[in-house]
Amino acid sequence: MCKYMRIQGREDSYITKYPKGIFSLCWNLIRDKVMTEEEEQLFISIDNWFKEELPEPEPCKNHEAVITFFKCGTADHMVDKLKPAITLLDQYNKPYDVVYTNFVGTIVYEDDWQIAVKVENGKMV
Domain spans in the chain, listed from the N-terminal domain onward: 4-124
The pLDDT of residue 9 is above 90: yes
Q: Can you tell me the distance from the alpha carbon of 123 to that of 9, in angstroms, rounded to the nearest whole number?
A: 15
Average pLDDT over residues 88-98: 98
Using DSSP, state whether 48 is helix, strand or coil.
Answer: helix
Question: Which tens digits make up the pLDDT trace of 28-56?
Answer: 999 999 999 999 999 999 999 999 999 88
Task: Quickly count: other Cβ atoms within 10 Å of residue 119's Cβ.
Answer: 21
Closest CA to 86 of 7, 2, 5, 18: 7
The pLDDT of residue 63 is above 90: no
In the chain, % of residues over pLDDT 70: 100
How many angstroms separate the Cα of 30 from the Cα of each of 7, 72, 81, 86, 115?
18, 28, 19, 14, 26
Predicted local confidence at residue 55, as pLDDT: 87
Nearest 5°: phi and psi at 89?
A: -60, -45
Nearest 5°: phi and psi at 110?
A: -155, 140
